[in-house]
Amino acid sequence: MSEKKKLKGQTKVRMEERARVMKALAHPSRLFIVDELSHGERCVCELTDMIGADVSTVSKHLALLRQAGLVLDEKRGQQVFYRLRVPCILNFFGCVEAVLEEVSRCDVAESS
């Protein structure tokens, strides 16, 4: 019989790392930023305009995404450009969409 896993040691560290990435995504503006970066790099000024928030707010969102390892930045003159570090994060978005579709389908079936 296999030994049961416990939430301690390396397992706990790994789960905490995963939680940090998930927390970084846990805001509509940051989800929007990741989605936009899936189409290519963007400068802070573009993202600020798209989100409709001030530069300071967007920069804080981007810093959180960078600290979580989701995006990379590159300064060019006065502008900073961001891109996704690992595009596979978009697979997670597909999974979230599947969950939302399933919940919606079940909600419709239950209300019928």
Determine, yes or no, domain membership for 102. Answer: no
Determine, yes or no, domain membership for 99. Answer: no
Determine, yes or no, domain membership for 108. Answer: no
Please indicate whether residue 23 or residue 106 has the higher confidence score (pLDDT): 23
Buried b (16+ CB within 10 A) or exposed e, 88-111: ebeeeeeeeeeeeeeeeeeeeeee
In this predicted structure, the answer to whether residue 35 has a pLDDT above a threshold of 70 is: yes
Compute CA distances 84 → 44, 59, 89, 96, whole Å: 14, 15, 9, 18
pLDDT in tens, 47-85: 999 999 999 999 999 999 999 999 999 999 999 999 999
In this predicted structure, the answer to whether residue 101 has a pLDDT above a threshold of 70 is: yes
Determine, yes or no, domain membership for 41. Answer: yes
Find the CATH number of the domain harbouring 51. 1.10.10.10
Determine, yes or no, domain membership for 28. Answer: yes
Determine, yes or no, domain membership for 26. Answer: yes
Please indicate whether residue 94 or residue 21 has the higher confidence score (pLDDT): 21
- Residues 6+ positions from 39 with CB-CB distance below 8 Å: none
Domain that residue 36 falls in: 9-86
What is the number of structural domains in the chain? 1
Determine, yes or no, domain membership for 1. Answer: no
In this predicted structure, the answer to whether residue 42 has a pLDDT above a threshold of 70 is: yes
How would residue 97 be classed by pLDDT, with cut points 50, 70 and 90? confident
Determine, yes or no, domain membership for 107. Answer: no
Whether the CB-CB separation of 58 and 48 falls below 8 Å is answered with yes
